[in-house]
Structures are given as structure tokens and as C-alpha cells.
Amino acid sequence: MRNEDLLLIPGPTPVVDSIYDALGEETRAHTDPRFVSRFKKAIERTKRILNTDGEVFIVAGSGTLAMEMALVNTIAPGEKLLIISHGYFGDRFIKLGQAFGIHIDLLQAEWGKQVDLKHVKEHLEKNQYKAVTVTHADTSTGVQASLGELIPLIKQHGALAIVDGVCATTAMPEDMQHNYAGPDTAIDIVLTGSQKAIGVPPGVGIVAFSQAALKARNEMKSVSAYYCDIHNWIPVMHDPSKYFATPPVNMICALEEGLRIVEEEGLKERYERHKAYGRAVRSALRVYGMVPLAEEKDAAPTLSCIYYPEGVDDAAFRAELAKEGVILSGALAHLAGKAFRIGHMGNTTPDMLETAIRKIGEALQKCGHEAAVEEAVSALQETLGSLSIN
């Protein structure tokens, strides 16, 4: 990879050369048959990966735009939304919903833990929600949601299940035709962005709607949006030679290549690889006395939020790492300065992870702390080896 830094933040993530090559192709007209063909492939690949029976929408924008598209096209002003939050990015749905006059109820888990299913059930039994949002892997806490438990509850109470897959899609299962507990217990919407587990630079928002989610939009006379109204995008998704708004031509070329890589690896293999990465990284960091915020059963495969040992200065530690070309993220909100976040997803390789573990140990030593570097590396390699990842 022609990357100067080892970018192990929770997104953007490392980009491989073939994606850079696609991004650097000659910029063509958005009506050029060569680009139209590429756009069609990106749409088809997205449909296959998410296995939706409805529509997918690929637009210029971030994951936040995808979140907005999911809400504004399914929930009318005055209707109720239940937000299941495992951290900062789950909470982001609060302001999004309020901006469109949606009535919000929030179920907020303690940071580092999953939400209590008993409380979810109580809310669903007492209220009539149009939809429920679940962040599959929260980028602030490294906690994964249990879709196998949450989606059936949501669907059995007549609500749409909206899954924020920004830090999960292509690394964690999001099969939109998988019925979790009998008929009609599948995900209705998956929203995501290009820059995390997909491994493409930021700039593309992706939203997939099931037939039930499309029906919800069709039953709304209008929505409080223009660019985000999926009715304006459906003709383009059916025939990318049509025009609504200029697509990000080069970014879609890069996305199509990124999705090709995903399909070439295979979803099952990719899911197992990410689980192995998460376990291995956390196992190695424990050797340094760095404790994950989330217990292993709740921890996401794509990123981890890690507490520092006592006495480690966050800014000094990450600055020391940055000198060595390893980029990590600080923690958010009340965890700022107490923890850091490390991504282990997308195009990340075992060699990258080993380099990171070594450099983290060396940075700790330079900051005046003990660190058994070889022991940590061995823990990483042992976990990866036991899970048949190479």
C-alpha cells in the first residue's frame, strides 16, 4: 500500500493500491457509458452484500447523511422513534430526529455495555413506535449490538428496524433477508459510509431499504427533504445514466473496487477475519495493562476503545506514536484522556496489527512505562493463529 502512515483510527481506514488506482482514474462525465457501467456494478454489489429485496442508494455524502435519509424517508413528523444507543453515535439520532419533528425516546446503555433487553421490551410494549434505530458497532465505545436479540423484538412490535452499519458493514453480518425469529423479523434499513470496514476513502453514503421500508416512504405524502428524498434517487439507482444530482464519479469508481475486494474475499471469511482481529488486538493490549472498555462478549470486531494504564498521558502517548507513523484516535466525551480508540477493520492486515502492537509498546516505554513488547506480539500472533487467520 502506498500509505505513509498506518491509519488505525475507527475510520477512515487503510486504502489499498487498487482502490487508489480506481479513485485516480480519469474523471468522466456522469453520463459516460463507461462510468454508468461502473455505477451499475457498485449498486449490484451493494445489493448482493446486504442481500436486500428492496433498493440501495449510493450518494455523495457521509454516514450522517445516510442516517438522515433513513429517518426522513420512513418517519413522519409527530411519529415516534425509539433510539437504542450504545454510545456517542447512537445518541446522534436524537438531534437528527428532533430536526424533523420526530418524537424521540432514548434507551441509553452504560458506555461499554449493551442495552438491557428487558428495558427494550418494556418500551416496545408501552409505546407504538414507527421505527427503532440500532447502531451495530458504536464508534465511540467499541460495543456491538446484538441484532439477533434486538431485531426480533423490534419487528414483533410492528416497528421498522433501522441499523446503523457505519462501523460494521462488510465486517459484521447485515443480511437484510435473514429472518432472525421467523417470518417478517428481518432488518428494514441498513445505512453506512464508504470509509470504515469497506476500506474506501470517505465521501459516499450508502442506504439500503427493504420492501417494508419502501412501503413506509410510499405511504408518506411528502418528506422534509429534497436531496435526501429517496423518490428522487430511485430512477437513478435503476438507471445511473439518468440525472438527479451529480454523483461523485471517482468515488463511485473507488467504491466499486472496494466492494469487488469484499466479494472476492467472501463475506463469511471477512466476518471471521474481523472477529479474529478484534480478539487478537485486545488480547495483545491487555499485556500492556490496557483494558478494553467493553467486555469481550460485547466488543465489536471492527474497533476497540481501550483504557490507559494509570499515569499514561493521552496526548503525549499518541503524539509519540504519530512520530512513528501509527495513528490512533482519542476517546470521546467523558472518556477523553482516559482511553484511546483503535480500528482493526477493512483492508487492515496482520502485519499492520503486529507493527501497531510493537509501536504501542515502544511508545509506552518512551513515555516512561514498562511494556513487554515481545509478549504482547506473541499474544497477538497466538490469537490470530488459533483462529486460522494469516
CA distances from 305 to 209, 215, 308, 312, 342 (A): 31, 38, 10, 15, 7
DSSP SS3 for 169: strand
Distance CA 344, CA 390 (A): 15
pLDDT grade for 3, boundaries at 50, 70 and 90: confident
Instruction: Please state, in angstroms and rounded to a whole number, the distance separating the CA atoms of residues 37 and 24.
Output: 17
Mean pLDDT computed over 197-213: 98
Find out whether the peptide bond into 247 is cis, omega within 30 degrees of 0: no
| Residues sharing a CB contact under 8 Å with residue 188, sequence separation 6 or more, in sequence order | 74, 131, 160, 161, 162, 176, 209, 210, 212, 213
Is residue 388 scored above 70 in pLDDT? Answer: no
> What domains are there in the chain, each with its CATH number?
17-264 (3.40.640.10), 266-386 (3.90.1150.10)
In the predicted structure, residue 2 carries a pLDDT above the cut 80: no
Instruction: Please return the burial class of 42, using the count of CB atoms within 10 Å of its CB with bins 0-12, 13-18 and 19+.
Output: buried
Q: Is 332 exposed, middle or buried (0-12, 13-18, 19+ CB in 10 A)?
A: middle
Over range 319-331, report the average pLDDT: 97
pLDDT, one tens digit per residue, over 55-71 is 999 999 999 999 999 99
| 309 contacts: CB under 8 Å, gap ≥ 6 | 288, 289, 290, 364, 369
Nearest one of 102, 132, 103 to 117, comparing CA atoms: 132
The answer to whether 302 and 167 have CB atoms below 8 angstroms apart is: yes
Full-model pTM: 0.97
The average pLDDT across 341-365 equals 98
What integer is the mean pLDDT of 82-110?
96
Q: What digits encode the pLDDT tens for the residues 11-66?
A: 999 999 999 999 999 999 999 999 999 999 999 999 999 999 999 999 999 999 99
What is the chain's mean pLDDT, rounded?
Answer: 97
